[in-house]
Amino acid sequence: MRKNDQRRNALLDAAIEVLAEEGARGLTFRAVDAEAGTPVGTATNYFANRDDLLMQIAERVYQRWMPDEATWAAAEAGPQDKAKVTELMRETVGRVAGFRSGYLAMLELRLEATRRPELRAVLTERVRADMNANVAYHLKRGLPGDAISVKLLMLALNWLIVETLTLPGLFAPEEVDELVVKAVERSLAAT
């Protein structure tokens, strides 16, 4: 396997686009090479097989979803209150939904995982780690709410993202914002 990380990431980014546009059936090494603009056979030098490619796509999406340093700094600035939770949730929904192809690729991966136990295990571990990291961050920062409220927010806002990306006309942008605000209010009201 080749070790050029920049080329590997470019191939993974191309694979994300193919998966989002064509679905799992359209994800072939040839399609990845075409999307990346690399010679036919390049992807096969970087990924052992299709399962390896699928698992690395999931990791790449999560890498690209990670907040940058400025976002982390803004999250830690100011009072750690309900308004901060709302601000964080707005930012998260915007950042995650802003990488539309990444989210759609993850939906495709989840569907594919129902038929591939190894992929299911990798995705389960990755999503669990993400959930645990979000809960730990929330509690460490002293934000209002408990672990259950964080999990409920993640579940609700993930589905809101699905709706906005797959049925873009369903909610107007101001409705999306209102739903984020109400999700925070209601999940924190129970704690």
- Identify the CATH number of the domain defined by range 5-189: 1.10.357.10
Boundaries of every domain in the chain: 5-189
Structure tokens at 17: 């686009």
Contact 117, 55 (CB under 8 A): no
Task: Report the distance separating Cα 25 and Cα 88, nearest Å.
Answer: 36
| 82-98 helix and 173-189 helix, angle to the nearest 10 degrees | 140
Question: What single DSSP character describes residue 41?
Answer: T
Beta carbons of 120 and 114 less than 8 angstroms apart: yes
Q: What is the pLDDT along the chain (191 residues), one digit of tens a residue?
A: 668 899 999 999 999 999 999 999 999 999 999 999 999 999 999 999 999 999 999 999 999 999 999 999 999 999 999 999 999 999 999 999 999 999 999 999 999 999 999 999 999 999 999 999 999 999 999 999 999 999 999 999 999 999 999 999 999 999 999 999 999 999 998 67
Specify the pTM.
Answer: 0.91
Neighbours of 38 (CB within 10 A): 17
How far is residue 95's CA from residue 67's CA, in Å, rounded to a whole number? 8
